[in-house]
């Protein structure tokens, strides 16, 4: 199975759906916690930093002031959309997940979360996203349905194309573009550059993550680059993606007249990419989780911190 932005998690094979360890009915708070585990809410860290970079850069260009209410609504929209996407992914893939040893402990497989609960959570998250889009500006609301489409298509992608990673990349590219639109209400090619960089970055590490499921994917007929072309080809593809990402981030820096702090952050990101590709090898995926979660989380947060410092030094008023 290809990566879906999160690692496997579960409750143990012996868990009884809808019950506490003591045998009583699961409390609603327990259902909420289980749902949040299902969608791995903490992994919003991958997408949010780049949305913030886009939003803050747009605010700098508009009036050099941080509009905290807008930033909060952007955060709500991003988390709502990601939660909806992850819930859909888990629901659509639950049968495939049940036959993959790595994912057999996921909440929808074990019964810790029912399909009904997952759909309820997904629809609530979608409503939150649409409400946030409406609160931002009419253009965000008008384009919101377009943002939903790749989120739903992606889980099905592995059933009809060897390149579902590209669909995931497209879905993730929307975040920075949407964050810029949220601030300005107008289209920006600078935001597109950043969005494409993010999409290719995430598509690249999806190639890495999907490499651990080659045997299960081939057995189930699940399509992906690693399953079709092999792990070495997938890792070479990921390296190419991350080289392109670095070039696009440099282009974004030039397009937005970024200062020294941004470029220092980009150098650190480039080094992190290099490190990521030294610890994952075709015949040694033992450090894949370090590459996927630790390094990629570091990349997003690092570039955001240095981009923010750069904007503040250049006059952004926080």
Q: How many Å is the Cα radius of gyration of the chain?
A: 20
What is the model's pLDDT at position 188? 93
Kindly list the domain boundaries of the chain, sorted by start residue.
Answer: 40-313
Predicted structure pTM score = 0.87
What is the model's pLDDT at position 27? 55
What is the model's pLDDT at position 30? 80
What is the model's pLDDT at position 58? 97
Mean pLDDT by 10 residues, the chain (318 residues): 40 35 50 83 78 97 95 95 93 92 90 92 95 95 93 93 95 94 94 96 92 91 94 95 97 97 97 91 81 84 96 94
What is the model's pLDDT at position 8? 33
For domain 40-313, is the CATH number 1.10.357.140?
A: yes
**DSSP H or E run through 53:** helix 48-62
What is the model's pLDDT at position 23? 39
Q: Give the separation between CA 15 and CA 232, rounded to whole angstroms.
A: 38
What is the model's pLDDT at position 17? 36
**DSSP H or E run through 96:** helix 94-98
Burial (CB < 10 A; 0-12, 13-18, 19+), residue 211, is: buried
- Taking phi first (over 0 means left), then psi (-120 to 50 degrees means alpha), and beta for anything else, what does residue 223 get? beta
């Amino acid at each position: 199975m290809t990566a879906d932005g999160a690692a496997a998690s579960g409750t143990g094979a012996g868990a009884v759906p809808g019950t506490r360890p003591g045998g009583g009915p699961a409390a609603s708070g327990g259902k909420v916690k289980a749902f949040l585990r299902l969608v791995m809410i903490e992994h919003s860290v991958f997408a949010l930093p780049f949305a913030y970079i886009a939003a803050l850069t747009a605010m700098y260009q508009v009036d050099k002031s941080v509009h905290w209410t807008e930033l909060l609504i952007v955060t709500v929209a991003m988390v709502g959309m990601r939660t909806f996407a992850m819930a859909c992914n888990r629901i659509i893939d639950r049968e495939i997940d049940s036959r993959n040893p790595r994912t057999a402990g996921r909440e929808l497989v074990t019964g810790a979360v029912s399909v009904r609960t997952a759909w309820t959570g997904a629809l609530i998250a979608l409503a939150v996203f649409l409400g946030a889009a409406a609160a931002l500006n009419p253009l965000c609301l008008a384009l919101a349905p377009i943002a939903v489409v790749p989120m739903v298509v992606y889980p099905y992608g592995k059933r009809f194309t060897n390149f579902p990673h590209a669909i995931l990349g497209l879905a993730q590219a929307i975040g920075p573009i949407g964050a810029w639109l949220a601030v300005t209400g107008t289209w920006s090619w600078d935001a597109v550059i950043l969005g494409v960089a993010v999409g290719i970055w995430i598509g690249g590490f999806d190639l890495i993550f999907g490499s651990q499921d080659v045997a299960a994917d081939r057995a189930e007929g699940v399509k992906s680059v690693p399953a079709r072309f092999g792990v070495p080809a997938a890792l070479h593809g990921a390296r190419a993606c991350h080289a392109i990402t670095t070039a696009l981030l440099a282009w974004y820096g030039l397009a937005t007249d970024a200062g020294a702090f941004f470029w220092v952050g980009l150098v650190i990101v480039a080094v992190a990419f290099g490190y990521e590709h030294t610890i994952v090898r075709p015949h040694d995926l033992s450090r894949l989780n370090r590459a996927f979660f630790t390094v990629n989380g570091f990349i997003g947060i690092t570039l955001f911190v240095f981009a923010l410092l750069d904007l503040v030094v250049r006059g952004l008023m926080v």
